[in-house]
Amino acid sequence: LLVGRDDELRRMQQVYRQVGPDGRLLIIEGEPGIGKTRLAEALVGWAATSGAVTLTARCYEGETNLAYAPLIQVLQDGLIPEACERLNALRDNHLAEAARLLPSIAEGRVLPEQAALSGPGEQVRFYEGVIHVLTALLDGPVPGILWLDDAHWLDSASQELLLYWLHRWQKRPFFIIFCWRVEELAPATPLPSLIVNLRRAGACEIIRPARFTASQVEDLLNASERSFSPEFLQRLFGETEGLPLFVVEYLDALPSGDGELALSTALPVPTSVRDLLHNRLAQVGETERQILQTAAAIGHGFDLMLIQTGSGRSDEETVTALEMLTMRGLLVEHTARDQVAFDFSHDKLRALAYEEMGLARRRLLHRRLAAALAANRTPTTAVSAQIAAHYQLAGLEAKAAVYFVQAGDQARDLFAHQDALHYYRSALALGTDNAWRLHAACGELLVRLGVYPEALASYETAAALAPGDELGRLEHQLAQVYQRQGQWSLAAHKLQQARQHLGDNANPAALAHLTLDQSLVAHRQKQTVEALALAQQARALAKKGADSPMLALAENILGMLARSRGDLETAVTFLEQSRRLADECERLDIQIAARNNLALAEGDGGRTDAAITNLQEAVRLCRRYGDRHYEAALRSNLADMLHQAGEETAAQEQIRESVTILAEIGRERESWRAEIWQLMEW
């Protein structure tokens, strides 16, 4: 029964009816307990009467670093027999991409082996595969609904995939619901700006339910079919201030029988939701309490196997306790693919049940749960992170670190850079073997994200811990950060140190790469003759080692140097060769650099249209590569070319994007340098 929300429900139904060839996004936002979830449930129930398929996942505060966890949940819940028939009609490559998140999607079907997500186009293919599978699972006689509850706790990887989908709302008939609290959204999340654009295009509606009035609280009391006096109504309204969840929880806590009798016996009025929830928890027996405690340690979304293994109770005891807890409304039961799962009816119940446990019991439960997950679950990113978290809370830090590293590696392969950084840092905080490797990995991720002071600190720590034969590579990586900051003297010094560590007998490819960076630094320091000599030397090393990526990079630097001399014909020849080699060896970073420098040479020669085409492709590749600083520089160069072509509106849009990124990179005082804004070629 939905009370006091008729207007909101009508608006939501109207938005749903607008889904046709194009998709729609519905946002339900408001404070905790305002009834966001209840409103979404009402809409889903109404749509279900017409045959709408709904996939639902709830996000959780402690899981913002579990990459793709909500999407894994909806994929798993959507695998019912009818949907499996629709999946069989999908192309193998789409199923194979989605199977990266949920391997069981591929059961009973031989799919092509998927390469690591590192080459050009892999991230887009991954996103498209997951979206095609979700679309198939939601297919039905009317538009399906993807509902993400508490979406303010979406992990960054899921956000990126959903952003990709929502940006392409035209000719994709989806209906997505986000329930969230605006104040809980991460400051840097791009979702609000996307929503502004979608609302402007008429593809998004925001519902903001208000608190109940006294008359609406009275309607809710009357709907309970119990007798309450006007005094009780005023008392309840004053205590809850019209927050629907408080009203409902208060009524659920009352003993059965007449409301007037409850008041006449001086039933104490709860002063907070915590008191209400504590009262409900206190009514369960010992076995039920142990099951609740185990469930609280799991967090949410637990199945019979996990709860039984963690609690140590028998199958019969576990099932009986779960039935009792469900009947009392403390847990709710879900069924998907003939599998039964349970969850808390409210997260505050879980938090309170967890707080009431002693440390020894918490550690015992977390140890059992980690072992159960490791033995019975496919080691996806989310599962690895869950195992790590359980081992950490169990006090077994060495085991936790191993699984955090595993989760970090998996997240990095899925382009979830923020999540990977979190996992690696978690492993480092716990202590791990070969810590220098993790510090270096963090440095690489931080460079990609444009957080240069932290990247330098990570590389320096790695160099302090690494064995001697790794110092050349790490000094080279430090030099590359200084290059990005425009600190040419420091970069030259670090490159010289790297050369000393590598020695003359080092791998030709490593020496070629180092020599090319020395050439680039010499070019920045106006040492034209030395820069050319170094680039030619590096080209010879690359040819000697038959290393196509380094040869492509050498051609890129030689083309850049030719352009600086005004020899545009030679520059274009070198840069077209660099682009061709980079495409052949699928080195995304070199593909981006070659296209950028080729566009600059084409622009100098008056071939503005060709330059714009190359820069647009470079921006597309760079967004996939995930390098914020390079993307800003590319957009700035593209803006210049668009201005030359007379496309002022498009040029201004590129400038705004570039400035936004550069401001983020230089937001900390210690990282601000004018040279960061001046990057044009590399």
**Mean pLDDT score across all residues of the chain:** 90
The answer to whether residue 132 sits within a structural domain is yes
Query: Residue 269: which pLDDT band, with cuts at 50, 70 and 90?
Result: very low
Are 45 and 176 in a shared domain? Answer: yes
In this predicted structure, what is the pLDDT of residue 70?
96
pLDDT tens digits for range 477-517: 999 999 999 999 999 999 999 999 998 778 889 999 999 99
Which tokens sit at 348?
A: 């505050």
Which tokens sit at 550?
A: 């380094």
- Catalogue the E-assigned strands of 38-113: 54-58
In this predicted structure, what is the pLDDT of residue 306?
92
Q: Report the percent of the chain where pLDDT is more than 90.
A: 68
User: Comparing 526 with 672, which gets the higher pLDDT?
Assistant: 526
Query: Residue 83: which pLDDT band, with cuts at 50, 70 and 90?
Result: confident
Closest Cα to residue 10, out of 2, 323, 549? 2
The answer to whether residue 306 sits within a structural domain is no
The answer to whether residue 258 sits within a structural domain is yes
Q: For the chain, how are helix, strand and coil distributed in percent, rounded to 5?
A: 65, 5, 25
Which of 254, 271, 288 delimits the end of a domain? 271
- What are residue 2's phi and psi, to 5 degrees? -110, 120
CATH number of the domain that residue 90 is part of: 3.40.50
Is the CB of residue 462 less than 8 Å from the CB of residue 436? yes
Flag whether pLDDT at 266 surpasses 50.
no
Average pLDDT on 632-651 reads 96
Is the CB of residue 307 less than 8 Å from the CB of residue 318? yes
Flag whether pLDDT at 259 surpasses 70.
no
Query: Residue 17: which pLDDT band, with cuts at 50, 70 and 90?
Result: very high
Are 48 and 193 in a shared domain? Answer: yes
The answer to whether residue 562 sits within a structural domain is no
Are 163 and 267 in a shared domain? Answer: no
The answer to whether residue 167 sits within a structural domain is yes
Give the residue numbers spanning the domain of 248.
Answer: 214-271
71-80, 143-152, 247-256, 386-395 — which is least confidently predicted? 247-256
Are 81 and 229 in a shared domain? Answer: no
The answer to whether residue 134 sits within a structural domain is yes
pLDDT tens digits for range 409-423: 999 988 888 999 999
Average pLDDT on 367-388 reads 93
User: Comparing 562 with 544, which gets the higher pLDDT?
Assistant: 562
Cβ neighbors of 122 (< 8 A, separation 6 or more) are 115, 116, 624
Cβ neighbors of 310 (< 8 A, separation 6 or more) are 294, 297, 298, 365, 368, 369, 372
Which tokens sit at 364?
A: 């015992």
- Catalogue the E-assigned strands of 240-356: 302-303, 331-336, 339-344
Are 11 and 123 in a shared domain? Answer: yes
Number of domains in the chain: 2
pLDDT tens digits for range 422-458: 999 999 999 998 899 999 999 999 999 999 999 999 9
Spell out the SS3 assignment of 595-627. HHHHHHHHHHCCCHHHHHHHHHHHHHHHHHHCC
107-111, 177-181, 366-370 — which is least confidently predicted? 107-111
In this predicted structure, what is the pLDDT of residue 668?
56
The answer to whether residue 139 sits within a structural domain is yes
The answer to whether residue 680 sits within a structural domain is no
